[in-house]
Amino acid sequence: MDQARILIVDDDDQARKNFTRLLQKEGFSVSTVKTGSKALDCLSESSYDLVMTDLVMDDLNGLELLARIKNQFPDIEVILITGYASIQTAIEAIKKGAYHYIEKPIRPAEMVHLARQAFEKKRLREQVVKLEAHIKGHLEEPVLIGQSQKMVEVVKLIKRIAKVDCNVLIMGESGTGKELAASMIHFHSPRRNKRFLAINCGGFAEELLANELFGHEKDAFTGASSVRIGLLETASGGTLLLDEIGDMSSSMQVKLLRAIQEQEVIRVGGNRPIPIDVRVISATNQDLKKAVSAGAFRQDLYYRLNVVTIDMPSLRDRRNDIPLLAHFFLRRFAKQFHREIKGFSEETLSVLRNYYFPGNVRELENIIEHAVAMAREDTIRLKDLPADFSEIGVFSFEQPNSPVMPLREMEQKYIEWVLNRVSRNKTEAAKLLGIDRSSLWRRLKNSEMED
């Protein structure tokens, strides 16, 4: 993690020393001042990620300082600290843009956790802005969004094999971005100035698919009043994506195999071979190896298509990318719908991170579009998500209808919830759980929760 810069504002000398010692021990860069006016001077002279300020001070109180910071330095997060807590003050603080509100006496683990969360929120916002600027500056370039190790490796592989003119098989569930990955391969390849075309092989009957891929000659069948050039011929010099290749019939597989091997096509109703030069990228959500073993997919075609395999991870296998993707879609739809929406409540992000996402990134995009359209405040809350999300949330003993579950299962669910609250930071999770890191590691290993 990049070192976050925190400014502590408190007129109590001992409090400043205690906060500094605690936060520096956790890897933060900490500066301190005694008054709100000096804090504003510091913010004008240096860059900070987070301000932690006492509420009651002589020159500027915490709420006044919060308002001034949000007016002059809107990207800086602010956490208010006070020994004089009230619901009205908390509500006013949040309305004025505070990230959170802490009551004294401070619990060290809570303070560190909130500091990390505030920094993560600011970092995500900066990443989204950079991502948008990159996309705007490279309008033609397809971009796979993600900072998780799995997505970083996928992007590296795409850029490496793009320059090698071989066929590629992209595996992955629906909604994981297989077509986007294929277009990235084309964009970074020597064929980028030629056409990139795509066809869903499961969307056509066999005769229509043959016509789409190979074209037809005039009078090849009733209604064929002119010559039609097929996609393999049209994409010559460029790249053709065969999506859902696993749905292709056996007889069509034979025809496609011949076209790839010979690099030529014969139009429907014709007898003259037409040379082609096309890179074939295939995509499927099926296990083609099993299909080959079952005799449902030709082994020779499988090896022709599968020179290099790219496995697109599901969204639940890269949960750390969910906040980044959610914020990216939020900004996109907020602009599209002319809405002033700043972000997500912590509860909403927690629910999103724990959701299974059977539809992957495509489903998340749809959920955020719905939430932006339905939001009644400047923050996306749980009530703004689709109706079925009301059934998803943190287990509560106070809910009479909550299902009774075995203690072991309850422990697993709680550990997973805590891990997601601290962005999968196992050291921080162990502190909050009151156990050492090795004990947490054993629990994760025994329950197969380790990622």
Query: CA 220 to CA 157: how far, in whole Å?
Result: 43
286: exposed, middle or buried (Cβ count in 10 Å: 0-12, 13-18, 19+): middle
Kindly state the average pLDDT of the residues 333-349: 90
Does any domain span residue 403? yes
Does any domain span residue 373? yes
Does any domain span residue 207? yes
pLDDT at residue 8 in the model: 96
pLDDT at residue 401 in the model: 45
Judgement on whether residues 176 and 307 belong to the same structural domain of the protein = yes
Kindly state the average pLDDT of the residues 120-144: 83
Query: Residue 123: what are its φ and ψ, rounded to 5°?
Result: -65, -40
End position of a domain, from candidates 311, 334, 356: 311
pLDDT at residue 296 in the model: 93
pLDDT classification of 93: cutoffs 50, 70, 90: confident
Kindly state the average pLDDT of the residues 416-434: 76
Q: Are 80 and 101 in contact (CB under 8 A)?
A: yes
What CATH number did the domain enclosing 158 receive? 3.40.50.300
Query: Residue 199: what are its φ and ψ, rounded to 5°?
Result: -145, 140
Judgement on whether residues 293 and 322 belong to the same structural domain of the protein = no
Q: Indicate if the pLDDT at residue 391 is higher than 60.
A: no
Kindly state the average pLDDT of the residues 407-419: 76
Name the DSSP class of 309: E
Measured CA to CA in angstroms, residue 61 lies from 33, 35, 66, 147, 244 at distances of 14, 9, 9, 39, 61
Does any domain span residue 140? no
Query: CA 1 to CA 427: how far, in whole Å?
Result: 14
Kindly state the average pLDDT of the residues 232-251: 95
Structurally, the chain folds into a number of domains equal to: 3
Judgement on whether residues 186 and 82 belong to the same structural domain of the protein = no
End position of a domain, from candidates 245, 277, 311: 311
Instruction: Return the minimum-mean-pLDDT range out of 32-41, 53-62, 340-349, 415-424.
Output: 415-424
pLDDT at residue 395 in the model: 47
CB atoms within 10 A of CB 181: 23
Kindly state the average pLDDT of the residues 198-211: 91
Kindly state the average pLDDT of the residues 297-321: 95
pLDDT at residue 213 in the model: 96
Query: CA 110 to CA 153: how far, in whole Å?
Result: 34
The reported pTM is: 0.74
Instruction: Return the minimum-mean-pLDDT range out of 30-39, 158-167, 194-203, 338-347.
Output: 338-347
- DSSP lists the bridge partners of residue 284 as 171
- Copy the structure tokens of residue 53: 């300020």
Mean pLDDT, all residues of the chain: 88
Kindly state the average pLDDT of the residues 120-148: 84
pLDDT classification of 398: cutoffs 50, 70, 90: very low
> What is the percent of the chain with per-residue pLDDT over 70, rounded to a whole number?
91
What CATH number did the domain enclosing 86 receive? 3.40.50.2300
End position of a domain, from candidates 68, 103, 132: 132
Closest C-alpha to 10, from 73, 83, 100: 83
H/E element, 65: helix 62-72
Range of the domain at 90: 5-132
